Structure 1
Amino acid sequence: MPTLSWPYALEADATPPTDADRLLLWLVRRQWRTIVAGAAFGIPWMLSIALVPASIGKAIDDGIVARDGRALLFWAGVILAMGLVSAATTNLRHWFAVSNWLFASFRSAIVTDRAIRRTGPALTREKPAGEVLTAYANDFWRMGMVFDVSARFAGAIASFTVVSIILLSGSLTLGLVMLIGGPLLLASLSLVMRPLQKRQAAQREEAGRLTALGADTVTGLRVLRGVGGEENFLTRYAGQSGRVRSAGVRLAGVQAVLDAAQVLLPGVFVVVVTGLGAHLAVAGDISPGQLVAFYGYTAFLTMPLRTATEFVNKLITSRVMAKRVASILEAQPDHPKTATDCPVGTASASELSQPGNQSRDRGSGVLTDPVSGVQIQPGELTALVSARPEETAEIAARLGRTVPGRHGVTWGDASLDDLPIDVVRANIVVSEADPHLFSGPLRRELGVPTGDDEALLAALHTADAADVIDSIDGGLDGEIEERGRSLSGGQRQRLALTRALLRDPAVLVLVEPTSAVDAHTEARIAERIPKHRNGSTTVIVTASPLVLDRADRILVVEDGKVTTHGTHRDLVRNNPAYRRIVLRGEED
């Protein structure tokens, strides 16, 4: 099925700035066409409304007062035309306003998602997971709010300018009141804007902490229950919830002042201009039609003035949200990509990064961990055994570069520390002991290649997982719940093994792949893995005799170092330490 390209998506190498204001301008540059189009319809929309009072004034003076029927009909037609223009442009202006909001929000979500994926676990070491979740789920769409009002703001500026010129031509006094009073009203709002921005940022900070607390608690819910810590959590959550409420109340007070000012200040302005206009009409300086028109202008002016204050309000909100997103964008991963093409065996890093190049002949180099002395020979099934499983699990993590830091692990002539992380991930896959399954269709979770039923059937057979597929409503197209909680531990483990086998990497590292299954299932899996991975480099961290008996070579690890190696039967016969680890008290 062909991939559909959205014309407003971001290019893969787009690099957003990590400053809030520059980030907003960066988004503006990428959608300037729709912003200009919105303004192109926003200006005539508001101008058509602004010029209605002038048309009414002309109809009164030239038609009613002068008793000219044709003039009256003409200006009535002009008023009708203004209404039609307003009706037509308001729909298109609204369409572009919503488009601007959605484009800015969606692109903010894209760059945030890319930053989270690029940074990986390093991000949650700098920021709580709940804070990241709040930024991704809430902040990005609020960043688009200022883009939504941009079309109306352009119309507000244009209409305010035009009305001021009309008033100047009719009365210098009223024109000056408009030109000076309008900007002064907006400037007075700065007294509210600064505390509003501070309180919005404070309220957002407290809300992020509350989400982080909730996320941390959900992660450790079983531990809390086990130690009886529910009451302590409830106390902490109630306290943080109270702080969020207090921050919201403080914010609401300033927001209420701004909302009231949006109505009060234009209202005061209307009263002043109407009073001056009435005084000038009584003095005979302006005509009755002009008086009606001036009153219409003052009533209309509430619209551009309120739009201007709304723009400033949403600009503040967008800047606050942009700062939160920018803080995610500036986070650095543990293993930044490099542009160096490093050889791995006979292949370069750039070659390995191409889809489809993770073939089995790419694993021709020896995988070496200098910290432990582990050497994984290409094309073999190697097992790691230790009395302390965390030791061998740590070695497996280093081999797959899934832990931060530089460890000197080499693969052939290349250092994993110098290879781009995506190249390592494409060629060395580590399937951990506690596999993570996400909610959604099972086919997507397993990463089943499109149309490759042969590979799927082979992986399911090796993992002895066909019955797991049958137990799910809808089979491969059925939905699994978050973390696969509707499945047993053994079922989750077999699906994770299936997923790892389907990747068919050059090097596959399996950490305790059969610890949650029964002995009969374990025997079948142990027999099938060597056949499935025949000729490929495979590492298994395990203490199961059934699996170890199938390994080409076993490395025994003590105190983090390899102390001996051999086959399962030789080590059982000649190495007491290995016997104690593997037989687990079954010795005579």
Structure 2
Amino acid sequence: MRSFPYKNAGKPDLRSPGRYLLWLAGAQRGTLLVAVLYGCIWTLCQALTPFVLGQAIDQGILPGDFARLASWVGLLVGLTVVQSISATLRHRASVSNWLQAAYRSAQTVGHKVTRSGDALPQKFSTGEVVSTTASDAMRIGEIYDVAARLAGSVAGYLLVTYLVFQSSWQLGLVVLFGVPLCGAGMLFVIKPLQRRQKEQREAAGKMTALGADTVAGLRVLRGIGGEHIFVERYRERSRATQLAGNKVAWSLADLNAAQVLVVGVFSVAFTWIGALQAVSGQIEPGQLVALYGYAVFLVSPIRTAADAVSRFIRAHVGARRIIDVLATPSAVHDAETTVPGPAAPSALVDSVSGVVVAPGGLCAVVSADPAQSADLARRLGRFEDAVLREAEVRWGGEVLHLMPLREVRSRIVVSDAEPQLFTGSLREELDPAGRRSDAEIMAAIDVASAHDVFDGLENGLDDEVTEKGRSFSGGQRQRLTLARAVLTEAEVLVLIEPTSAVDAHTEARIAAALRRERGTPGKTTVMVTASPLLLGAMDTVAFLKDGKLQAQGTHRELLDTVPEYRKVVIRGEGMDGHGGTTAAAAVGANATNGVGHLESNGGEA
């Protein structure tokens, strides 16, 4: 029984497609050598069969020697049995090599995706990455499938050349030079095939990317009546991919025709020369039969070589695409890890904005430009090390990006504004590590006020979540994502607009529940939001202007003292001529009081 996933084979060689393919070969050298061994045994048995048959004719049938005939027939039967067994084992090992190379490539790309942060989404679309793992990885595997047959064909070709030389040096030269020349003659067809396969791969990648993006945004497209526009775009991409595929098919047809022509001309010429030598008495009748068998056998090495070149071209194109993904510099890494994380809950200090997040309690970040507060949250979560080298964040007095990434990820959790759900059971979705009990999961559901999600689920937590959670509304997906974040019980939890898609009553319940759940020593919560309901539940609020800390205090204090803050939060100036708070500001105050009112009534709106 083989365990999966495969063990880490080390850092892949990304200097060129050829070097990457060699790296894959080294990672599976054991099964690759076994496949080559069985491939050679299998092909050598085929190459020896005409020789044994010719000897049986010359030494057994023609002289009437039954004993000699029986011994050669026995040897022929033995070759057949060995050939059958080795063919089965060769095929098994070859398929294993194919799948190993394909899945190791997919696994390597998967690891890259999970460790690259935002680097890959900024360079490639989701469809392009999916196409790389689903299509290119399988094409790479094909070359390791054909490797055993190619090695066996070379061994068989050399053996047949030697055996033919024993019968006729002229025919031996024909085999020695004719077979390589036949293979070289097909290079004129293979070169256009390589170019057309590259074009077809690029067209297919663009079509997959467009299809993935269209499916992801289908709900929005239907809402604005834009389906027909993207359908037409997909048709155009599909048509371009089809035309590129047709060109590839033309080149493949030319290659197959060239194989038939070249192999046919070689076989006819080889057999004709042998027949002339048999008529002139230079070779025996049995040797002529063997020569005809060699001619039939040599068809296989020529075709295998052409097939191997065709597969190598596809693998080369696929390896180039995979290298493009793997060579993308990761946004975060552990290469410069030099300091451990703080032993106890500590303050987070952002040098760019000047914000200091004290350990414990709830802190909100508000900015007139939401992108600036979101950037702060991403710095606190260590999403891009390159940014942190210039905009340093300290945690407990030490530089955040110099700490072990695994420790940072386990202690600081960022829940983004765009909720992402994956296929699987709801229980696995909320608790991927499987460490929480159902009671704990339901408690987190209660914090996120997401009980309505179960109204449409027949199996509760065991119900299957569809791809990207499309069966849920936007507000339900957002609350499920919040419940998942709460379940991590992270030391520092950073929430970016966690309630932007829910109504005011639900938002008030969430604010009260978050305060109960996260407002304890040892748990720090940073929330990027401009919602008065959430801000009223915070211990402190940091207000940013032009990315810099302008004021910090409670929500009520900032409403009374910072006009720009009040303008952002309640969408109005809110100041009378005497500096007093008008009705607009009172809205924020009432919203703040509303949290306590809802909480005291059991969270019911």
Distance 2:155 2:338 in 1: 56
| TM superposition score normalised by structure 2 | 0.87
Going from structure 1 to structure 2, the CA distance change for 1:478 and 1:222 (only over 3 Å counts) comes to: closer
**What SS does the aligned partner of 1:435 have?**
coil
Structure 2 partner of 1:320: 317
Shift of 1:512: 2.7
Shift of 1:182: 1.0
**Letter matched to residue 538 of structure 1:** T
Going from structure 1 to structure 2, the CA distance change for 1:516 and 1:127 (only over 3 Å counts) comes to: closer
- Which of the residues 494, 501, 510 maps onto 1:516? 501
Query: Are positions 1:134 and 2:118 aligned together?
Result: no
Going from structure 1 to structure 2, the CA distance change for 1:15 and 1:427 (only over 3 Å counts) comes to: farther
Distance 1:22 1:8 in 2: 23
**Letter matched to residue 513 of structure 1:** P
Structure 2 partner of 1:503: 488
Query: Are positions 1:375 and 2:356 aligned together?
Result: yes
Shift of 1:21: 0.4
**What SS does the aligned partner of 1:382 have?**
strand
Unaligned stretches of 5+ residues in structure 1 = 348-360
- Which of the residues 452, 455, 474 maps onto 2:436? 452
**Aligned pairs for 1:46-65 within 5 A:** 46-65=43-62
**Letter matched to residue 554 of structure 2:** T
Whether the 8 Å contact between 2:430 and 2:441 is mirrored in structure 1 is no
Q: Deviations over 1:138-186 (max 9, x none)?
A: 0001101111011111211111111111111111111111111111111
Going from structure 1 to structure 2, the CA distance change for 1:8 and 1:171 (only over 3 Å counts) comes to: farther
Q: Which moved more, 1:31-40 or 1:417-426?
A: 417-426
Whether the 8 Å contact between 1:469 and 1:475 is mirrored in structure 2 is yes
- Which of the residues 104, 109, 124 maps onto 2:106? 109
Structure 1 partner of 2:450: 465
Structure 2 partner of 1:272: 269
Distance 2:5 2:48 in 1: 36
How many residues are matched?
569
- Which of the residues 527, 537, 547 maps onto 2:534? 547
Distance 2:122 2:111 in 1: 17
Distance 2:170 2:442 in 1: 86
Structure 2 partner of 1:474: 459
Distance 1:486 1:114 in 2: 28
Structure 2 partner of 1:212: 209
Q: Which moved more, 1:399-408 or 1:19-28?
A: 399-408
Shift of 1:573: 5.1
Structure 1 partner of 2:590: none
Query: Are positions 1:424 and 2:408 aligned together?
Result: yes
**Letter matched to residue 446 of structure 1:** L
Q: CA RMSD in A?
A: 2.7
**Letter matched to residue 140 of structure 1:** A
Going from structure 1 to structure 2, the CA distance change for 1:208 and 1:583 (only over 3 Å counts) comes to: closer
- Which of the residues 416, 434, 447 maps onto 2:418? 434
Whether the 8 Å contact between 2:12 and 2:23 is mirrored in structure 1 is no
**Aligned pairs for 1:125-524 within 5 A:** 125-221=122-218, 230=227, 232-344=229-341, 346-347=342-343, 361=344, 363-364=345-346, 366-386=347-367, 389-402=370-383, 405-406=387-388, 407-419=391-403, 421-447=405-431, 449-453=433-437, 455-469=440-454, 471-524=456-509
Shift of 1:31: 1.4
Going from structure 1 to structure 2, the CA distance change for 1:69 and 1:154 (only over 3 Å counts) comes to: same
Shift of 1:391: 4.2
Structure 1 partner of 2:38: 41
Q: Deviations over 1:394-434 (max 9, x none)?
A: 43233223367232232221233444544433322221233
Shift of 1:523: 3.2
**What SS does the aligned partner of 1:149 have?**
helix
Shift of 1:298: 0.9
| Dislocated runs of 4+, deviation >6 Å | none
Whether the 8 Å contact between 1:17 and 1:26 is mirrored in structure 2 is no
Q: Deviations over 1:55-92 (max 9, x none)?
A: 22122222221012222222222222221111111111
Q: Deviations over 1:428-455 (max 9, x none)?
A: 2221233221222112211255353254
Query: Are positions 1:98 and 2:80 aligned together?
Result: no
| TM superposition score normalised by structure 1 | 0.89
Q: Which moved more, 1:429-438 or 1:290-299?
A: 429-438
Going from structure 1 to structure 2, the CA distance change for 1:508 and 1:86 (only over 3 Å counts) comes to: same
Distance 1:18 1:475 in 2: 50
Going from structure 1 to structure 2, the CA distance change for 1:12 and 1:426 (only over 3 Å counts) comes to: farther
**Letter matched to residue 496 of structure 2:** V
**What SS does the aligned partner of 2:387 have?**
coil
Distance 1:393 1:316 in 2: 45
Going from structure 1 to structure 2, the CA distance change for 1:211 and 1:7 (only over 3 Å counts) comes to: closer
Shift of 1:8: 7.8
**Aligned pairs for 1:46-85 within 5 A:** 46-85=43-82
**What SS does the aligned partner of 1:163 have?**
helix
Whether the 8 Å contact between 2:393 and 2:399 is mirrored in structure 1 is yes
Shift of 1:241: 3.1
**Letter matched to residue 506 of structure 2:** T
Going from structure 1 to structure 2, the CA distance change for 1:250 and 1:490 (only over 3 Å counts) comes to: closer
Whether the 8 Å contact between 1:8 and 1:103 is mirrored in structure 2 is no
Shift of 1:520: 4.1
Distance 1:8 1:563 in 2: 51
Structure 2 partner of 1:353: none
Unaligned stretches of 5+ residues in structure 2 = 572-583, 588-605
